[in-house]
């Protein structure tokens, strides 16, 4: 690990307000999901965000991943604030710097495993031949050699989540954000997925930040950040 | 993007096929309707200009009743020289058109009397092709060709003589015996009951109009060059007390019918476009609703809003293009079939009250209007997809991912 700070959150809050007319919005109390959080992540980390349901784990990952905007505070990536970027700049930032793994796999059902993995590269404008080669390589890293041309509905849950991990790492992002990646998997498959992610972290230096409330999963993390009611414990 | 759009299209094959079928039916119906209306219009124009009106008419400048010119013109040889040198003119003849009376042994009838040049007339109009008995005018003295129904009404038969009565140019009544040499049957009551043809020279004598006529009718080599031909002839006749008219001015009722049919066609097209647009809108909205989470994934991966917008529009374009293509094939097939076999329409009988009209329509292609309709369907499919596409593009990734 280099120790370089990749992501830094300063006084970040997220309040969900009910959708009411503007005249009443100030009066509506809202739900505090994240409250004045100061947090930093370094390059090469394999960190977990832990906490019970409703503690703000997913919200925090969404904020780091810039797919949701904080109500207050700033988030910086390699020292540059990203919370003030417009939608296109945020999309470009996610495309080049981040990879996502979701709880429900969220593969595109009409594309094969390789085509799903290729997609971030296609968005980057990488040539067809190169993206195919890199997708096959990424699938190989996650142990799915020979399954490149299968559609998601012909893969098991564990295999689908491995495809999702391959899709998240294929474009060499600075950070992979995984929201409860093992929640839908049995314990054996979950352990295998975690081992694979840890292996990618060690071998290829990919930074992982994932959320979970499963103690077995959390035990694999080098750093565990505990959240309770949107605050660090 | 094309691959994803194409696969998305077939995600719900039944729905896509139904939408394709509705677009295809819409396009085919539009093409068929256009072809039918245009074929009717073409036939109307062809019949009207071919039988009696001609493409261009030259008349005295002071004529007000274009169909029954009340003023004459003279100096025919000078006109002949101008007409002979015009490259657009295929044939022409001088005529005298006059309302008059014909009397047989049973009855008398008011008719339109057409004094025509017997040798030139078959080159200018198709009236002689409707001959049912006897022969066409030869120009040998006072002979007459009339409709079979008129002859029946008069109680006259082929070879018999009847009296033709009309107002001469000096104001007196001109009357002569004319021998029936031919009877025609055009299938139109207006023609078969109320029109008779006599040789121009004989009619001029009856009416004391030697060397004069009141209607010069011209057939063009290319009817599409109507305005160019009229302009050149008008320029050549500048200074003469004459005016050059097109069939559109003489047969105003036909241009009126054309405008009426075009207006109906536009309304029908508008309704079909609306149906096509609603079909696409429904398909695209349903498809978007099912894929909100996927848009969230795409956006989380780094797809810009414009990418999502283009993806939805490309899907819709594919739908419109495919449906349009199928529609064109169906439309071409239908029109080609009825072009060959003919389409029986009751309109023929209705129209033949005024003009000889074929009751079986042999449809024709009208590609300029077909192309416009096909392009309009594709544009409609794009426009119909625009609101849902914009909505998809505006969705926030986090909201999409929360969508159930």
Tell how strand B195-199 and strand B108-116 pair up. Answer: parallel
Q: How far apart are alpha carbons B198 and B320 in whole angstroms?
A: 60
Taking residue B337's Cβ as centre, other Cβ atoms within 10 Å add up to: 12
**The pLDDT of residue A81:** 93
Say if CB A230 and CB A31 are below 8 A apart: no
Note the pLDDT tens digit of each residue in B24-65: 888 898 889 889 888 888 888 888 788 888 899 999 888 888
Q: How far apart are alpha carbons A119 and A110 in whole angstroms?
A: 12
Last residue of a domain, one of B183, B207, B240: B240
Contacts of A67 in chain B (CB under 8 A): 296, 299-300, 396-398, 401
C-alpha closest to that of B292 among B382, B381, B388: B388
The alpha carbon dihedral of B247, B251, B257, B263 has a sign of positive
User: Please, what is the angle between helix A187-204 and helix A157-169, to 10°?
Assistant: 20
Q: How far apart are alpha carbons A130 and B283 in whole angstroms?
A: 35
Q: How far apart are alpha carbons B354 and B192 in whole angstroms?
A: 10
| Positions of chain B with pLDDT lower than 70, given as ranges | 169-170, 347-355, 403-404
- Closest-CA residue of chain B to A86: B304
My answer on whether B271 and B194 are in the same domain is no
**The pLDDT of residue A24:** 55
**The pLDDT of residue A154:** 93
Note the pLDDT tens digit of each residue in B381-404: 788 778 878 888 888 888 887 766
Which residue in B2, B293, B301 has the most chain A C-beta atoms within 10 A of its own C-beta, making it the best mutation to test that interface? Answer: B301
User: Please, what is the angle between helix A87-97 and helix B292-301, to 10°?
Assistant: 70
Residue B280 sits at φ, ψ, to 5 deg, of: -70, -45
Q: How far apart are alpha carbons B397 and B401 in whole angstroms?
A: 6
Q: How far apart are alpha carbons B34 and B328 in whole angstroms?
A: 13
Q: How far apart are alpha carbons B49 and A51 in whole angstroms?
A: 90
C-alpha closest to that of A69 among A15, A8, A11: A15
My answer on whether B208 and B263 are in the same domain is no
| Positions of chain A with pLDDT lower than 70, given as ranges | 1-3, 19-29
Question: Strand (E) positions, B104-147?
Answer: 108-116, 131-134, 143-147
Q: How far apart are alpha carbons A148 and A116 in whole angstroms?
A: 9
**The pLDDT of residue B169:** 65
8 Å CB contact of A67 and B305: no
- For B210, half-sphere exposure in the C-beta direction (CA atoms, 13 angstrom radius) is 1
User: Please, what is the angle between helix B305-341 and helix B2-9, to 10°?
Assistant: 60
Say if CB A176 and CB A208 are below 8 A apart: yes
**How many Å lie between the alpha carbon of A94 and the closest alpha carbon of chain B?**
5
Contacts of A105 in chain B (CB under 8 A): none
**The pLDDT of residue A1:** 45
Here the ipTM equals 0.87
How many folded domains does chain B comprise?
2
C-alpha closest to that of B280 among B323, B311, B327, B248: B323
Cα dihedral B163→B167→B173→B175 (10° resolution): -20
Contacts of B398 in chain A (CB under 8 A): 62, 67-68
- For A91, half-sphere exposure in the C-beta direction (CA atoms, 13 angstrom radius) is 22
The alpha carbon dihedral of A80, A86, A92, A96 has a sign of positive
Contacts of B307 in chain A (CB under 8 A): 123
Size of interface A-B (CB pairs under 8 A): 68
Q: Give me the DSSP letters along B291-341.
A: THHHHHHHHHHT--HHHHHHHHHHHHHHHHHHHHHHHHHHHHHHHHHHHHH
Cβ neighbours of residue B260 closer than 8 Å, sequence gap 6 or more: none
Q: Is B352 inside any structural domain?
A: yes
Please name the member of A87, A88, A106 whose beta carbon is closest to the beta carbon of B293.
A106
- For residue B244, the cross-strand partners are B58
Note the pLDDT tens digit of each residue in A189-223: 788 888 888 888 888 888 999 998 888 888 889 99
Q: How far apart are alpha carbons A103 and A120 in whole angstroms?
A: 19
Domain that holds residue B193: 62-240
8 Å CB contact of A123 and B305: no
Please name the member of B301, B303, B306 whose beta carbon is closest to the beta carbon of A100.
B301
8 Å CB contact of B300 and A115: no
**The pLDDT of residue A45:** 92
Tell how strand A175-179 and strand A98-101 pair up. Answer: parallel
My answer on whether B267 and B305 are in the same domain is yes
Q: How far apart are alpha carbons B374 and B324 in whole angstroms?
A: 6
**The pLDDT of residue A19:** 66
- Closest-CA residue of chain A to B301: A95
My answer on whether B40 and B67 are in the same domain is no
Question: Using beta carbons and an 8 Å cutoff, which residues of B are at the interface with A?
Answer: 1, 3-4, 7-8, 10-11, 293-294, 296-307, 396-398, 401
Say if CB A168 and CB A115 are below 8 A apart: no
C-alpha closest to that of A189 among A221, A222, A223, A155: A155
**How many Å lie between the alpha carbon of B293 and the closest alpha carbon of chain A?**
8
- Closest-CA residue of chain B to A116: B4
State the DSSP code for B113: E
My answer on whether B322 and B389 are in the same domain is yes
Q: How far apart are alpha carbons B308 and B395 in whole angstroms?
A: 10
Helices (H), B125-251: 148-154, 189-194, 200-207, 226-236, 247-250
Q: Is B56 inside any structural domain?
A: no
Last residue of a domain, one of B188, B209, B240: B240
What is the CATH T-level fold of the domain A46-69+83-232, as seen in this structure?
Rossmann fold (3.40.50)
**How many Å lie between the alpha carbon of B11 and the closest alpha carbon of chain A?**
7
C-alpha closest to that of B119 among B215, B201, B178: B201
Say if CB A113 and CB A155 are below 8 A apart: yes
**The pLDDT of residue B181:** 95
Tell how strand A80-81 and strand A31-42 pair up. Answer: unpaired
Residue B205 sits at φ, ψ, to 5 deg, of: -65, -45
Say if CB B163 and CB B154 are below 8 A apart: no
8 Å CB contact of B8 and A110: yes
- For residue B94, the cross-strand partners are B216
Helices (H), chain A: 22-25, 57-64, 87-97, 113-124, 128-141, 157-169, 187-204, 215-218
Last residue of a domain, one of B176, B210, B240: B240
Note the pLDDT tens digit of each residue in B230-273: 999 999 888 888 899 998 888 877 788 888 888 888 888 888 77
Q: How far apart are alpha carbons A57 and A168 in whole angstroms?
A: 19
Say if CB B233 and CB B79 are below 8 A apart: no
Tell me how far the alpha carbon of residue B4 is from its chain's centroid: 46
Q: How far apart are alpha carbons A76 and A93 in whole angstroms?
A: 12
Q: How far apart are alpha carbons A164 and A166 in whole angstroms?
A: 5
Domain boundaries, chain A: 46-69+83-232
């Amino acid at each position: 690990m280099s120790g370089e700070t990749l992501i830094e959150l300063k006084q970040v809050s997220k309040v969900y307000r009910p959708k009411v007319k503007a005249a009443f919005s100030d009066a509506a109390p809202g739900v505090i999901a994240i409250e004045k959080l100061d947090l930093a992540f370094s390059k090469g980390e394999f960190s977990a965000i832990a906490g019970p349901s409703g503690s703000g784990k997913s919200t925090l990952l969404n904020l780091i991943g810039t797919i949701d905007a904080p109500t207050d505070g700033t988030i910086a990536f390699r020292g540059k604030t990203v919370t003030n970027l417009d939608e296109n700049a945020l999309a470009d930032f996610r495309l080049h710097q981040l990879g996502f793994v979701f709880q429900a796999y969220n593969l595109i059902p009409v594309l094969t495993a390789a085509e799903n993995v290729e997609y971030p590269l296609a968005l980057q404008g990488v040539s067809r031949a190169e993206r195919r080669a890199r997708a096959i390589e990424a699938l190989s890293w996650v142990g799915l050699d020979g399954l490149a041309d299968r559609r998601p509905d012909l893969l098991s849950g564990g295999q689908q989540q491995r495809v999702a991990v391959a899709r998240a790492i294929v474009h060499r992002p600075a950070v992979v954000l995984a929201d409860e990646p093992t929640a839908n998997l049995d314990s054996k498959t979950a352990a295998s997925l975690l081992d694979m992610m840890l292996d990618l972290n060690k071998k290829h230096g990919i930074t992982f930040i994932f959320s979970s409330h499963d103690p077995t999963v959390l035990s694999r993390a080098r750093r565990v950040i505990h959240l309770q009611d949107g605050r660090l414990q | 993007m094309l691959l994803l759009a194409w696969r998305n299209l077939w995600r719900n094959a039944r729905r896509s096929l139904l939408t394709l079928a509705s677009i295809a039916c819409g396009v085919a119906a539009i093409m068929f309707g256009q072809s039918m209306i245009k074929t009717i219009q073409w036939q109307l124009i062809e019949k009207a200009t071919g039988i009696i009106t001609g493409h261009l008419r030259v008349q005295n400048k002071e004529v007000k009743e274009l169909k029954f010119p009340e003023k004459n013109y003279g100096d025919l040889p000078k006109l002949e020289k101008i007409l002979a040198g015009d490259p657009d003119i295929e044939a022409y003849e001088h005529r005298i058109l006059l309302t008059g009376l014909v009397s047989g042994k049973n009855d008398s009838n008011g008719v339109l009397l057409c004094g025509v040049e017997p040798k030139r007339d078959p080159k200018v109009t198709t009236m002689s092709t409707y001959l049912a008995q006897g022969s066409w005018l030869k120009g040998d003295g006072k002979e007459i060709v009339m409709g079979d129904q008129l002859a029946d009404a008069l109680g006259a038969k082929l070879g018999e003589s009847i009296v033709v009565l009309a107002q001469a140019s000096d104001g007196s009544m001109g009357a002569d015996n004319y021998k029936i040499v031919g009877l025609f049957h055009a299938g139109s009551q207006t023609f078969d009951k109320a029109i008779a043809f006599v040789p121009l020279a004989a009619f001029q004598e009856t009416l004391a109009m030697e060397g004069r006529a009141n209607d010069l009718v011209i057939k063009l080599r290319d009817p599409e060059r109507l305005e160019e031909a009229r302009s050149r002839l008008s320029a050549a006749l500048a200074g003469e007390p004459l005016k050059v008219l097109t069939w559109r001015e003489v047969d105003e009722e036909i241009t009126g019918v054309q405008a009426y049919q075009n207006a109906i066609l536009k309304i029908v097209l508008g309704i079909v476009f609306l149906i096509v647009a609603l079909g696409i809108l429904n398909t695209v909205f349903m498809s978007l609703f099912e894929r909100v989470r996927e848009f969230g994934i795409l956006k989380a991966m780094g797809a810009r809003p414009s990418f999502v917008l283009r993806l939805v529009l490309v899907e819709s374009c594919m739908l419109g293009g495919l449906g349009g293509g199928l529609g064109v094939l169906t439309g071409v097939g239908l029109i080609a079939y009825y072009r060959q076999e003919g389409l029986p329409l009751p309109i023929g009988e209705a129209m033949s009250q005024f003009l000889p009209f074929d009751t079986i329509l042999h449809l024709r292609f009208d590609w300029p209007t077909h192309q416009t309709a096909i392009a309009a369907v594709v544009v409609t499919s794009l426009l119909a997809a625009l609101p849902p596409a914009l909505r998809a593009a505006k969705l926030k990734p986090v909201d999409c991912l929360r969508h159930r």
